[in-house]
Amino acid sequence: MLIDHPLLGPRDASEFVYKGDASLINRPDWQAEDALAKFIDYGYLRDNPASDHRELWFHEQGDRSWLVVTRDTTTHEIKSVELARDVARREGRSK
Amino acid sequence: MHDLKPMTPLGQHEPVIETHGPVTLTEVTDTALASVAARLGREADTAAILASVLGSETPAPARHGGKTLTAFWMGPDQWMVEAPLETHEDLAAQLAATSEGAMSVTEQTDAWCRFDLSGERLADVFERLCSANTRAFTGGEAVRTAIEHLGCFLLCRTPAHISVLGPRSAANSLHHALLTAMRSAH
């Protein structure tokens, strides 16, 4: 499997490590009233779609960047690859 | 006054040089290293400071270059600066003095060992060692890849001269892997 790194081009998947669901970018506010419930959801509950799945990959044997990869779980087709920091900034996570 | 003798990453007093077939492996110990990482929101400032240090543009992703000093790209908004050890033993301090709070500078000289492979058909050696596409190298590439399970940088000075930077603590393992591949390929 090849992952088309946005900066470096296609790289072998063996250079990457899977780091989980991309929703992990959205860490809840620890000071909120319902922080406990939110963190239980954040820590343990995942969607399991039989279609496009957004996931975090870490380029461990490369430039050490974190990527958000959108992959179809039924065909393993990779539909888009973005730098996780760009995704996080777009979603207002980066201050 | 102590009379201390410096040791190379391979534990010798002089750098090791070995030739097999058309390929010569040279242990390189005369280079100072320091890494530079842009702080959040200061990416453009860091690139500008680094460009003035290098006397040329800041290297693009997976590239190395420079005039006064050279640097290679390590990751988004991160570079490693190379300089002659004799004149820049305090390279990190020199860079930090120019940083204006825009970047974090880390001393890296003794964290790495460096082996330069020079000669013909180097891609025959590297295709046995890593997944980097060394056959497509034309000069100026800087790729991080795994060699012998070690995270290493390959810097293509020219297609007949490629530097390998690996973790110093595993210098002997890396040296063994490079020699084994040289003997296998040629």
Pick the CATH number of A2-90 from 1.10.530.10, 3.40.50.150, 3.40.50.300, 3.30.2270.10: 3.30.2270.10
Give A-chain residues touching B144 at CB under 8 angstroms.
61-64
Q: Which residue of B has its CA nearest to A60?
A: B151
Q: Please report, as a single letter, which amino acid is at residue B70.
A: T
Q: Where are the domains of chain B?
A: 18-29+110-185, 31-109
Domain made up of B18-29+110-185: CATH architecture? 2-Layer Sandwich (3.30)
- Alpha-carbon distances, residue B143 vs B85, B156, B157 (angstroms): 23, 9, 12
Distance of alpha carbon A87 from alpha carbon B43, whole angstroms: 17
The predicted model scores a pTM of: 0.91
Which residues contact residue B138 at a Cβ distance below 8 angstroms, ignoring those fewer than 6 apart? B156, B159
Between chains, do A7 and B146 touch, taking CB under 8 Å as contact? Answer: no
Between chains, do B145 and A65 touch, taking CB under 8 Å as contact? Answer: no
- What ipTM was predicted for this assembly? 0.85
**Which residue numbers of A have CB closer than 8 Å to B's CBs?**
7-8, 11-12, 14-15, 60-65, 83, 85, 94
Concatenated DSSP letters of B20-66:
ETTEEEEEE--EEEEEEEEPTT-HHHHHHHHHHHHTSPPPPTTBEE-
- Going residue by residue through chain B, which has 186 residues, state the pLDDT in tens, using 9 for 90 and above: 788 888 999 999 999 999 999 999 999 999 999 999 999 999 999 999 999 999 999 999 999 999 999 999 999 999 999 999 999 999 999 999 999 999 999 999 999 999 999 999 999 999 999 999 999 999 999 999 999 999 999 999 999 999 999 999 999 999 999 999 999 999
B47: tokens are: 């690139």
